[in-house]
Amino acid sequence: MKRINVTETFLPPKEEYQAVLDQLWKSKWLTNRGEIILNLESAVQDYLKSSAKPLFVSNGTVAIQIPMKVLELKGEIITTPFSYVATTSTIVWENCTPVFVDIDPEYLSIDEAKIEAAITDKTTAILAVHVFGNPCAVEKIDEIAKKHNLRVIYDAAHCFGAEYEGQSLFNFGDISTTSFHATKLFHTGEGGAIFCNDQNLKETIYYHHNFGHDGPEAFHGLGINAKMSELNAAMGTALLPYMDYVIEERKKISELYDTLINWKLVRKQKLREGTTYNYAYYPIIFESEKTLLTAQQKLNEQNVFPRRYFYPSLNQLPYIDTQKMPVSEEISRCILCLPLFVGLKEDDIELIAKIVNE
Ligand SMILES: *Cc1c(COP(=O)(O)O)cnc(C)c1O
């Protein structure tokens, strides 16, 4: 049996990628914000109906680092322990201290009721994650941030096509960031984007992502190179027309899992009311780590490789001072993301569900 991983990158037909590349062979313009990236930023905004036009960058990690730098964040950043490592590592990388707030056991995002207790006079921002594409309590977080004069950045790496109350999830917070890594729903191989509705802030972010250049000979200020290349943008250009199809197919697979899995033994993340889901992941939560490990082993024996997203809980990273996060630690031990990608066969889905049920 063929190896089945947690995900398989969806690629557009090669001729369609080739057709976009043909433009490059004519223009010989491979980076520095050529035509392909400029068109794709507009096309992505149209597709998502986001309030801001995205600024494309080289990956979803610098997409968080640049706003942190531009906002001159210092001191303590309130964040979630249940995410991919990049959420925490960027905070440390930018010389700030991550202060974890435990997650809600149902929604799996930062527990908004516990945020205020973690705020000190050193707190400067909240970096929250709409984990697996499920919105955080955005209204409440916004209210807390205003009251305490904090910035809000959403790591929205899982949120392409996900909506809350009829709006793109990228509309929320002072800044929203995303990743276009090959394992994400919409991808450019490597890549990411920053969404910001504040024009001044957006302008500074723009300068920062391109060495601070203000024309060939002048500089606005400090900067770094976080530009996306035209080659990467070409992949996104060929892929974008398939996104409705990709999401629809993933929805069908998710719904099949929904009907096949015995929900007496495992449970799902609860989606916040008002969410239009994008079917980015299919996480299931076991009763114990022991049952998870047994299921994982049985799946591996059948050449099926789900992933323990997200394990370990980020408060347990080796470079983090001890902060106990009982809910996140427990969820991290018991959660497994099942394979979900376009082309996953019905027989395989049935087999996977059967093993989980056993
Ligand atoms: C993938 C991911 C990132 C990092 O994105 P890259 O494009 O791989 O740098 C950051 N945060 C979360 C939650 C992610 O899942």
CATH number at residue 193: 3.40.640.10
C-alpha 31: how far from its chain's center?
A: 24
Confidence of residue 128 (pLDDT cuts 50, 70, 90): very high
Range of the domain at 321: 243-357
* CA-184 nearest atom, ligand 1: 1
- Degrees, nearest 5: CA angle 11-14-16: 100
pLDDT of residue 43: 98
Domain final residue pick, 241, 272, 302:
241
pLDDT band at 253 (very low <50, low <70, confident <90, very high): very high
Q: How confident is the model at residue 196 (pLDDT cuts 50, 70, 90)?
A: very high
Does residue 237 belong to any structural domain of this protein?
yes
Domain assignment present for residue 270? The answer is: yes
Ligand 1 atom closest to the Cα of residue 191 is: 7
Instruction: List, chain by chain if needed, residues with CB within 6 Å of any ligand 1 atom.
Output: 59-61, 83-84, 86-87, 129, 155, 157-158, 179, 181, 192
The total of structural domains in the chain comes to 2
**Does residue 161 sit in the same domain as residue 290?**
no
In the block, tokens 């991290």 appear at: 332
Separation between Cα atoms, residue 166 and residue 188, nearest integer Å: 26
How many angstroms is it from 265 CA to the middle of ligand 1?
30
Q: Are residues 143 and 181 in the same domain?
A: yes
**DSSP-derived 3-state class of residue 123:** strand
Tell me which of 181, 185, 186, 337 to substitute to probe ligand 1's pocket, judged by most ligand atoms within 8 Å of the beta carbon.
Answer: 181
Give mean pLDDT, residues 120-149: 98
Say yes or no: 188 and 269 in one domain. no
- Write down the mean pLDDT value for the chain: 97
Token readout for 325 is: 């996060």
In a domain, 183, yes or no: yes
Report CA(31)–ligand 1 centroid distance (Å): 22
Query: With 90 as the cut, is the pLDDT of residue 270 above it?
Result: yes
- Are 20 and 162 in a shared domain? yes
Residue 32 belongs to some domain of the structure: yes
In a shared domain, residues 292 and 195: no
Does any domain span residue 4? no
Angle at 50 between CA 49 and CA 55, to 5 degrees: 125
Does residue 131 contact residue 108 with C-beta atoms inside 8 Å? yes
3-state secondary structure of 328: helix
231 in the same domain as 155: yes
Q: What is the largest CA-CA distance in the chain?
A: 66
Residue 3 belongs to some domain of the structure: no
Work out the end-to-end distance of the chain between its first and last CA atoms, rounded to an integer number of angstroms. 20
Q: Where does a domain end: 208, 241, 274?
A: 241
Both 123 and 193 in one domain: the answer is yes
Query: Is residue 8 included in any domain, yes or no?
Result: no
Q: Are residues 230 and 286 in the same domain?
A: no
What's the 83 CA to ligand 1 centre distance in angstroms? Answer: 9
Q: pLDDT of 335-353, one tens digit each? A: 999 999 999 999 999 999 9
Instruction: Note whether residue 138 is domain-resident.
Output: yes
CATH of the domain at 305: 3.90.1150.10
As a dihedral over the C-alpha atoms of residue 312, residue 315, residue 321, residue 323, rounded to 10 degrees, the angle is: -130
pLDDT of residue 49: 98
For residue range 21-55, what is the model confidence (pLDDT) as tens digits? 999 999 999 999 999 999 999 999 999 999 999 99
- The protein residue with its alpha carbon nearest to ligand 1, atom 7, reads 60
Same domain for 155 and 168: yes
From the CA of 156, how far away is ligand 1's center (Å)?
Answer: 9
Whether 325 and 185 map to the same domain: the answer is no
Share of the chain above pLDDT 90, in %: 99
Based on the fold, state whether residues 64 and 175 are members of the same structural domain: yes
Residues in the chain: 358
